[in-house]
Amino acid sequence: MGDSNTGPSTAKHLSERIELAQNVSRVLLINPPIYDIRIPWARFIQPIRLLWLSTYFQNASADVRIIDAVALADSKPLRKVLARTIDVDTHTVNVWRFGMSLPAIEKALRAFLRAQWQPDIIYVECATTFWWEGAKEVIATAKGIFPDSRICLIGAYAELAPEHARSQTLADVVGALDWSELALLTPNLAHYSTKPDSIYLALHDGQRAAAEILEEMSRLRTDYNVQSFAFLDHGVTSDHRESYCELLEQIASQGIRVRLSALGTIPLRDFANHPELATLMKQAGYAQVCFADDRGAPVGADADEALIGHAALAAKACERAGFRIRTDAVTASLCLGRPGESLEARGKVATKLVHHLGSLIFWPYQPSPRDLPKISLEDQNGKLFPFRHLNKCSFTDYLSILGLASVLNAKYRTETFDFLGNGLISRLFRDSIGRQAWIRPKISREP
């Protein structure tokens, strides 16, 4: 994500390093509501770092409570209400508030107060810079009810826009925690009545032994009946392939029955260069592979051709391993909205990726706050494509290419259609597009 960039090196722009609170008896963790135009993968949003914190403080004998304002319950869609509308070029775009209502959050906090339970410290995590409004409102509400509690704001917003966070929120501390040790902990799910679809695991830069991760998976399966897992580590098959493969081999050899998903963490080139990975992942229980997008690659024709070549080889590896192409089992990803890109080129790459891998997700490029200092933080939302004017495009142009993805991903009897295939329908379709056959010819009215 673009949010992984660091800001200017002046002290006032740097987030404070937060030391974990010691000798506290009561800890409250809050995952705030979200302000956004849409949340396409709501079921995969998970406050994994708060869950690690919960385990840490529970191990330290503290009484831990959590309010997850965007937790899903009983397969119901995430609650949303219209927050405002904004003008984006010629479009009026709805900004929604997703999650628990503010009265519901206040009610939950006051219930703690009535029970004479007041937290010594409150951690609020805001995972994305342009979601800051949700963090602001829960901090203000918590500060009003628990004025003596110390509130720490953590997450990408606190780390990448600390000056903004200090001016806009009532947090006592704005900064970053050291997650190197916390990431070794098993997340605490005891506060959830409805467990998340998948639980995230961390190899911690390949430092964790396979036996340690297998033990963590066993605890989660036994204590919470979790059967689905995904790994947080980006490039795990690139930088830590040896330890990752060792883990998968043990899962397969021990016959551990789990459902694994790769959610945008594995580059296409890794399957292309190491096709045996696909077979090993299938044997270990992978049911879904959503490949990483190309946001880290240069913008241009050479990088596009390399990506398409990797997709062709990755598709062959997936098919040999038993993953069904053109189903939800395999999905390509493509970054959209980077400065300097050509939408025509993106459309061509998208179509070729779908030809090889069957389906595609466009991932909007999220800039760092320092990239767009003159644009308000909420308007830096990647889904608004804030670099569109630099690319000499309109918001309508970007909506059109998103529409292309909808067409490419459309399924008939659970499978997508290959628009670049050799079949008759594919050839007729391409011929129709080439002739612009959908345009009504002009009829001469001359006698």
Question: Cβ(124)–Cβ(28) under 8 Å?
Answer: no
For residue 28, which phi and psi values (nearest 5 degrees)? -115, 130
pLDDT of residue 445: 54
Here the tokens at position 417 are 């259609």
Look at residue 112 and give its three-state secondary structure.
helix
Q: pLDDT (tens digit, 9 = 90+) per residue, 339-374?
A: 999 999 999 999 999 999 999 999 999 999 999 999
CA distance 209 to 342: 44
Confidence of residue 1 (pLDDT cuts 50, 70, 90): very low
User: At residue 364, what is the residue type?
Assistant: P
pLDDT of residue 317: 98
13, pLDDT greater than 80:
no
Distances (CA, A) of 26 to 62, 192, 219: 6, 19, 25
4, pLDDT greater than 60:
no
Higher pLDDT, residue 263 or 11: 263
CA distance 149 to 68: 19
* DSSP label of 327: S
Q: pLDDT (tens digit, 9 = 90+) per residue, 111-148?
A: 999 999 999 999 999 999 999 999 999 999 999 999 99
The DSSP code sequence of 122-140 is EEEE--SGGGHHHHHHHHH
Pick from 92-106, 416-430, 431-445 the range whose average pLDDT is largest: 92-106
Provide the mean pLDDT of the chain.
Answer: 89
DSSP strand E in 39-125: where? 63-68, 80-88, 91-98, 121-125
Here the tokens at position 120 are 């010594």
Q: pLDDT (tens digit, 9 = 90+) per residue, 300-338?
A: 999 999 999 999 999 999 999 999 999 999 999 999 999
Confidence of residue 256 (pLDDT cuts 50, 70, 90): very high
Going by C-alpha positions, the residue among 296, 163, 156, 199 that lies closest to residue 239 is: 296
Confidence of residue 9 (pLDDT cuts 50, 70, 90): very low
431, pLDDT greater than 70:
no
pTM assigned to the model: 0.88
14, pLDDT greater than 80:
no
Q: pLDDT (tens digit, 9 = 90+) per residue, 294-308?
A: 999 999 999 999 999
Confidence of residue 107 (pLDDT cuts 50, 70, 90): very high
